[in-house]
Chains A and B, each alone.
Chain A
C-alpha cells in the first residue's frame, strides 16, 4: 500500500507540474524536502532516546503485566465470548496496556500472541471471531495515552508548546476507542 501511495503522489505531482508549468518548483521542493527529512530525523534522536529510555524502564519493571492484571475485569465486558481465566484475555490485556503506554515495539509481539490465543477458541479457523474483530478494532483505533511521536515532531518543528495537544488527543482517543467498541459490537450481527 505504501508502494502505491508513494508512486501516485510522485507521478500525479509530476504530471500536474507540467500542466502548471511548475517543474522548477517541483525540483526545488524535492531537493529541499530530502534535506529537511534528514534534519528532522536528526532533531528527533534526542526525544526518541528520552522516550525509548523510559519505555525500557517501564518494561523491565513489569509495569505492563501489573496493570494488565487489573484490566482483565474490564475486558470481560468487552470480550464476553472469552472465558475470564483463558490466557487470551491476559494476552489481549498486555497488548492493549503496552499500546496505551506507547510501547510500540513491545506491543506487536504481545498482540500476535493475543490473536494466536484467540485463534485457539475459534471453531472456524479461516473466519475471524467476534473477539478477534473487537480486538483489532480496538488495537487500530489508537489507545495511546501520550502521543509521543506527535509531541516529538511538534517539538522538532519549533512549537512553542509541543505538549498542548496531549489533552485534546486524549479526549479524541477515548472517542475513537469507544467508537471501535460500539461499531464492532453492532456490526458483528450483520457479518
Chain B
C-alpha cells in the first residue's frame, strides 16, 4: 500500500506529461504552439490571484501573530486530540469548504510556518489535494438554474470533505513519519 502510494507520487507527473503530449501529437495537435498558448495563461493566472493572495495572507498573518490562532488551537486541542486530528490542521479544514483562496493562502502560510516537509505540512497538503470548496460551487451551479430547495447537497458535500480530512490523517500516519 505504502509502496503503491510512493509509485503514484513518483510517476504521476511524468506519465501525465507523456500521455497528454503523446496523445496530442498523435491527434495532430501542434503540441508546442498549443503548449505556449496555454503557458501564457500561467502569467495572467498568477497575476490575477496576486491581490487575493495579498489580502488573505495579511489577514491570516494578523490572526496568527496576534495570538488569536494559538487561542483557537488551544481551545480546540482537547477535542481534536481525542479524534486524533492535529489541532493546527483544523483551522484549515474548517476554512476549506468555505473559500478556495482563503484555504490556499492558509496552506501557503502554514508551509512558511511549519515547512512543507513537516508532518503538519504533509497532512495539510494531502487534505487540500483531496477536498474542494463547497458553498461557492453549489451556489453558482444551483443559481444558474434557479433551484432553491437544495435538499441534502450541502450535507453530502461536507461529509465528503470530512472523509477527505480523516483519510488524509490516516494515510499520512501510514506513509510519513510523525
Contact = CB atoms under 8 A, between A and B. Distances in A.
Interface of A: 1-2, 5-6, 9-10, 12-14, 16-17, 20, 22, 25-26, 28-30, 32-34, 36-38, 40-42, 44-58, 60-63, 108, 111-112, 115-116, 119, 122, 125-128, 132-134, 136-137, 139-142, 144-147, 149-151, 153-154, 156-173, 175-180, 183-184, 187-188, 190-191
B81 interface: no
B102 to A, nearest CB: 5
Interface in B4-54: 4-10, 12-13, 16-17, 20-21, 23-24, 27, 29, 31, 34-43, 45-47, 49-50, 53-54
B66 A16 contact: yes
A61 B64 CA distance: 46
Interface string B127-152: 11111111111101110111111111
Interface residues of B, number: 111
A155 B65 CA distance: 25
Nearest to B96: A142
B68 interface: yes
A150 B125 contact: yes
B104 A133 contact: no
Contacts of B164: 141-142, 172-173, 175-176, 179
A4 B119 CA distance: 30
A165 B10 CA distance: 10
Interface in B151-169: 151-153, 155-157, 159-164, 166-168
B9 A164 contact: yes
A147 B42 contact: no
Contacts of A191: 151-152
Given A14-B62, A30-B61, A150-B107, A162 B116 contact: yes
Given A48-B45, A177-B160, A6 B102 contact: yes
A55 B37 CA distance: 10
Nearest to B135: A1
Nearest to A1: B98
16 contacts: A2-B102, A12-B63, A33-B109, A37-B50, A49-B42, A49-B43, A112-B140, A127-B147, A140-B97, A146-B12, A153-B107, A166-B8, A166-B12, A167-B6, A179-B162, A180-B159
Given A48-B46, A153-B107, A184 B146 contact: no
